[in-house]
């Protein structure tokens, strides 16, 4: 039973710090153990991407914790994708209908610090430099190490917010079959930087997520509030050119960028040095058949369902998890019932966004500058006007609404069929058979609750 309202969280990353805040604000006694040092004292030791896209799901969770204002002070608005074709001028493709439908670029380190401060202000106790090593589920104890220190502690229940390589998940797997599967993407990523321009200005349009789509590889760039951009190159780890194997060093990267991303070259003065210094990151989709050991331990965020980053939803989904788990803990007396309700609610939704994230890689790297894609995108917006409570574009359902991801996926698949049938064999919207399309929409899509007006 959770009558003592005590809980132990492993990891003070994005999910761990937010969950600690939400629970401490509701009167829980929360202890958090984090492997890294306190980022407020030693600076933020990253590891994953430097910045992230924050969308409505994540923002909603931040509002619940009262941390949205502090986070948004450092955020940069992104209205849409600025697509940089191989030849020709960059073009903005808006994500939504206007500036009420946008996403935000935020710095991971700054966000983490805001959440850590909020957790402490709410009364949670955070222990830094304390790495979970081992759990004894029978005795309800665990061992943390760090700073030459080793300690055994007891717990009422453990929450694993310790990321994709979760130690808690590893410990749980020793006492129960979690059904773990890891599908590695054969593409990796490397980060580069566009520094500020003369006079400290942004060198390219700041209010956009820039994409250089090139078929089976791409670059993207997200703005930072200090007027830089973090550029991420995604391409295969190995195989025919270009891959990280055929572009092994700074000199090769300079040639590759000159031929494939020519307009980005003058923007990245340290290209060779960044390329040599920064590691190639790996990406994977993690799925589990169970996220918990009865009422003793449960996983959230990347520890439960790491995903590829192409929908910019990993953190947003992890934040939704935190709200769902905090709500479940408030509405059930026993940990087991709360963890079970949380898992039942979130597992199908995590699977849906993992699927959509994989699909979105193809869209970003290959489809965004195709004529048929642009025609379907224009039609999507017109159908949204004609059927505002029925047809909501895929991107809007995922990024501007909080309907369950599984519902967004199901409706997106129906909508894709409608768009494909409507545009088959035509090149302009003038040729659309509106009566047929409207009938298709009405017959296949029910009204969607919570639709933006
Ligand atoms: C290249 C890239 C780009 C991304 N872009 C986006 C984006 O634009 N939008 C978005 O929503 N998501 C994005 N994501 C996904 C996002 O980074 C993750 O979903 C998010 O960080 C998950 O948060 P988390 O708290 O579950 O895990 P993490 O942020 O990984 O935090 C885990 C924490 O646990 C700690 N820890 C680990 N092991 C232990 C241990 N044994 N003991 C104690 N502590 C431990 C770690 O130090 C860390 O602080 C991106 C990911 C990548 C790789």
Q: Give DSSP secondary structure letters for 373-395.
A: HHHHHHHHHHHHHHSTTT---HH
Element (H, E) at 351: helix 335-362
Question: What's the pLDDT score for residue 50?
Answer: 85
Q: Does residue 3 register a pLDDT over 60?
A: no
CA 106 – ligand 1 centroid, Å: 14
Residue 4, token pair as written in the block: 């003592």
Per the DSSP assignment, residues forming a β-bridge with 104 are 54, 77
Residue-wise pLDDT for 134-193, tens only, equals: 999 999 999 999 989 999 999 999 999 999 999 999 999 999 999 999 999 999 999 999
Look at residue 10 and give its three-state secondary structure: strand
pLDDT-derived band at 363 (thresholds 50, 70, 90) equals confident
User: 167: which residues sit within 8 A by CB, 6+ positions away?
Assistant: 10, 131, 132, 133, 160
pLDDT-derived band at 47 (thresholds 50, 70, 90) equals low
User: pLDDT exceeding 90 applies to what percent of the chain?
Assistant: 93
Element (H, E) at 117: helix 108-121
Residue 65, token pair as written in the block: 């914790």
Across residues 88-107, what is the average pLDDT? 96
Q: Is the CB of 192 under 6 A from ligand 1?
A: no
Q: How far apart are CA 62 and CA 64, in angstroms?
A: 5
pLDDT-derived band at 253 (thresholds 50, 70, 90) equals very high
What is the number of the ligand 1 atom nearest to the C-alpha of 313? 11
User: In this structure, what are the phi and psi dihedrals at residue 410, rounded to the nearest 5 degrees?
Assistant: -60, -45
Q: How far apart are CA 107 and CA 191, in angstroms?
A: 14
CA 425 – ligand 1 centroid, Å: 44
Pocket test for ligand 1, best of 17, 35, 208, 305 (most atoms within 8 A of CB): 35
Q: Is the CB of 163 under 6 A from ligand 1?
A: yes
DSSP state of 257: H
Q: Share the mean pLDDT of the chain.
A: 96
CA 411 – ligand 1 centroid, Å: 29
Residue for token pair 């590829």: 308
Residue 245, token pair as written in the block: 């194997």
Residues in the chain: 453
Q: Whose CA is closest to 153, among 253, 72, 37, 32?
A: 32
Q: Is the CB of 36 under 6 A from ligand 1?
A: yes
Look at residue 9 and give its three-state secondary structure: strand
∠ at Cα 336 (352, 12), nearest 5°?
A: 65
Question: What's the pLDDT score for residue 434?
Answer: 97
CA 48 – ligand 1 centroid, Å: 7
* Residues 231 and 264 sit within 8 Å (Cβ to Cβ): yes
Pocket test for ligand 1, best of 48, 113, 166, 313 (most atoms within 8 A of CB): 48
* Residues 350 and 405 sit within 8 Å (Cβ to Cβ): yes
* Residues 283 and 189 sit within 8 Å (Cβ to Cβ): yes
User: 314: which residues sit within 8 A by CB, 6+ positions away?
Assistant: 301, 302, 306, 307, 357
DSSP state of 366: I
Q: Is the CB of 222 under 6 A from ligand 1?
A: no
User: 62: which residues sit within 8 A by CB, 6+ positions away?
Assistant: 18, 54, 68, 71, 319
Across residues 256-267, what is the average pLDDT? 98
| Helix-helix angle 371-386:434-444, to 10 degrees | 70
Q: Does residue 77 register a pLDDT over 60?
A: yes
Question: What's the pLDDT score for residue 43?
Answer: 80
Q: Which of 44-48, 66-70, 323-327 shows the lowest mean pLDDT across its residues?
A: 44-48
Residue 293, token pair as written in the block: 């050991």
* Residues 401 and 56 sit within 8 Å (Cβ to Cβ): yes
Question: What's the pLDDT score for residue 82?
Answer: 98
Look at residue 284 and give its three-state secondary structure: strand
pTM value?
A: 0.97
Q: Is the CB of 168 under 6 A from ligand 1?
A: no
Pocket test for ligand 1, best of 309, 353, 399 (most atoms within 8 A of CB): 309
């Amino acid at each position: 039973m959770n009558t003592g309202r005590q809980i132990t969280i492993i990891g003070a990353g994005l999910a761990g710090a937010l969950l600690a805040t939400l629970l401490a604000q509701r009167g829980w006694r929360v202890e958090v153990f984090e492997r890294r040092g306190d980022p407020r004292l030693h600076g933020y030791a990253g590891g994953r991407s430097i910045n992230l896209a924050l969308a409505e799901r994540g923002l909603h969770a931040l509002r619940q914790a009262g941390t949205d204002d502090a986070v948004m002070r450092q955020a940069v608005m992104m209205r849409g994708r600025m697509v940089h074709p191989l030849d020709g001028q960059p073009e903005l493709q808006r994500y939504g209908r206007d500036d009420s439908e946008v996403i935000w670029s935020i710095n991971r380190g700054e966000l983490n610090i805001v959440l850590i401060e909020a957790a402490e202000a709410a009364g949670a106790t955070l222990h830094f430099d304390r790495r979970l090593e081992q759990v004894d589920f029978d005795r309800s104890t665990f061992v943390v190490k760090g700073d030459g220190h080793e300690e055994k502690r007891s717990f009422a229940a453990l929450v694993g917010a310790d990321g994709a390589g979760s130690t808690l998940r590893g410990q749980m797997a020793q006492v129960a079959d979690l059904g773990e599967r890891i599908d590695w993407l054969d593409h990796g990523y490397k980060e580069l930087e566009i520094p500020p321009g003369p006079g400290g200005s942004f060198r390219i349009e700041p209010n956009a997520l820039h994409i250089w789509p090139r078929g089976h590889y791409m670059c993207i760039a997200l703005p930072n509030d200090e007027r830089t951009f973090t550029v991420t190159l995604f391409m295969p780890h190995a195989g025919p050119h270009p891959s990280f194997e055929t572009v092994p060093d700074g000199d090769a990267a300079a040639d590759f960028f000159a031929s494939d991303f020519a307009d980005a070259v003058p923007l990245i003065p340290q290209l060779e040095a960044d390329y040599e210094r920064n590691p190639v990151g790996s990406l994977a989709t993690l799925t589990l058949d169970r996220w918990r050991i009865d009422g003793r331990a449960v996983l959230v965020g990347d520890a439960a369902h790491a995903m590829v980053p192409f929908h910019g939803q990993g953190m947003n989904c992890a934040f939704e998890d935190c709200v769902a788990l905090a709500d479940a803990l408030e509405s059930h007396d026993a940990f087991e019932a709360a963890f079970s309700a949380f898992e039942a609610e979130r597992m199908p939704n995590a699977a849906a966004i993992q699927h959509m994230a994989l699909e979105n890689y193809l869209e970003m790297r290959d489809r965004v500058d195709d004529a048929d894609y642009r025609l379907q995108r224009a039609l999507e917006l017109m159908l949204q006007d004609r059927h505002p409570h029925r047809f909501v574009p895929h991107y809007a359902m995922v990024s501007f609404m909080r309907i369950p991801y599984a519902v967004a996926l199901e409706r997106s698949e129906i909508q894709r069929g409608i768009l494909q049938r409507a545009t088959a064999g035509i090149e302009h919207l003038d040729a659309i058979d509106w009566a047929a399309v409207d009938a298709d929409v009405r017959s296949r899509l029910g009204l969607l609750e919570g639709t933006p007006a």
